[in-house]
Amino acid sequence: MSELDEAAGNIRATCFIADKVMYDDAQCAQLVSTFCQFFVDKVRRIRDNILAALQSSVCRAFAVRPHLGP
């Protein structure tokens, strides 16, 4: 952002800096795909870790207590 601050008021410099940070459609599609896959993989790893933890834990049986109130 400091480059943009330095170029403030200079249209040519601002456009040059903006062109350096912009992505074309193909690059945007690739970026979206990469982000999506990252989050899908992250959720899958979390799910697998929870499943593994549940399978390795001792099954606790809770006593059934009848409701005695109104």
Q: Residue 60 — very low, low, confident or very high, per pLDDT cuts 50/70/90? A: low
- At residue 52, does pLDDT exceed 80? yes
How far is 39 from 28, CA to CA, in rounded Å?
17
Q: Residue 36 — very low, low, confident or very high, per pLDDT cuts 50/70/90? A: very high
Q: Write down the domain spans for the chain.
A: 23-59
49 vs 56, more confident:
49
pLDDT digits (tens, 9 = 90+) for 14-33: 888 877 777 888 988 998 99
Q: Is the pTM of this model over 0.85?
A: no
How far is 35 from 60, CA to CA, in rounded Å?
39
